[in-house]
Amino acid sequence: MKLLFDFLPIIVFFAAYKWAGIYWATGAAVAVAALQIVALRVLRRPIDKTQWFNLALLAGLGGLTIFLRDERFIMWKPSLINWAFAIAFGLSLFGQRPLTERMLGAQLVLPRSVWRRLTAGWVLFFLLGGALNAYVAFVYQVTPQSLDADRQAIYAQVAEDDGAYARAVQGKALADMDAAQRAELTALAPAQRQAAYLHKLHQDIWVNFKLFGLLGLTLLFVLAQGVYLSRHLSPDTGARESAV
């Protein structure tokens, strides 16, 4: 349940993106993250430092994205937060108690070596997650040659067809656009229209990866750690859990 709560801004971001585009999605994610803090305050639930950090990072990068109309800022957010967690978990390996032990030590009885391996595993996972996001967001490119037959046809249409461009890039019918938007569309050269279509496809790929890729990888890693933990649980753990 907590994992779903933590991923709620990402889920809202995905839904808002499909409905209204990346700038509305960014604003919606910032609003949801702020409402989560407010809800925890009202319910008098503890607020993790990571939640404050996530809100600050999301608000800062999201604000820059919206005001500068540049989605690259919000695209950095998953990488930066993953790498920040990697640093925090990594530094805890030099202390008396690794971070995983501080988080779960009240519920589980495990040897110190196991806690350290669990923490090191999270360090590697966060480093990998940040690197994968950076690759999808800034290195991977959508080219005309990489498109399937259907998208190749749309790529050709958007160069001259106003309606095809409005549907494929703006996500709306031409009739729903006002006079200023239509004039801006008409002024675009064919190459600019096609470049905008490729850019939109790249945005779609990143948004899908942000939700399904990172969330899916996180769930798989949590399950893998659960299997690893089950091999090292002591009898005291079962007694402690039954007493709760």
pLDDT recorded at residue 6:
77
Asked whether residue 244 carries a pLDDT value surpassing 80, the answer given is no
The tally of domains found in the chain comes to 1
105/102 Cα distance (integer angstroms): 6
What is the sign, positive or negative, of the torsion defined by CA atoms of 87, 90, 92, 97? positive
Asked whether residue 13 carries a pLDDT value surpassing 70, the answer given is yes
Asked whether residue 1 carries a pLDDT value surpassing 60, the answer given is no
108, part of any domain = yes
pLDDT recorded at residue 217:
93
191, part of any domain = no
| Neighbour count for residue 221 (Cβ, 10 Å) | 17
Return the top range by mean pLDDT from 111-120, 131-140, 167-176.
131-140
Q: What is the mean pLDDT of residues 74-101?
A: 94
198/192 Cα distance (integer angstroms): 10
pLDDT recorded at residue 48:
85
151, part of any domain = no
10, part of any domain = yes
* pLDDT above 90 as % of the chain: 70
Q: What is the mean pLDDT of residues 139-166?
A: 95
Asked whether residue 135 carries a pLDDT value surpassing 70, the answer given is yes
Give the total residue count for the chain: 244
Task: Please give the DSSP secondary-structure letter assigned to residue 84.
Answer: H
186, part of any domain = no
72, part of any domain = yes
In terms of residue numbers, what domain contains 213?
2-146+199-234
pLDDT recorded at residue 86:
97
Q: Considering only CA atoms, which of 169, 137, 163 is closest in space to residue 151?
A: 169
pLDDT recorded at residue 234:
58
80, part of any domain = yes
For residues 225 and 90, which has the higher predicted lDDT (pLDDT)?
Answer: 90
pLDDT recorded at residue 118:
92
- Residues 161-174: pLDDT tens digits? 999 999 999 988 98
Asked whether residue 241 carries a pLDDT value surpassing 60, the answer given is no
Q: What is the mean pLDDT of residues 128-137?
A: 97
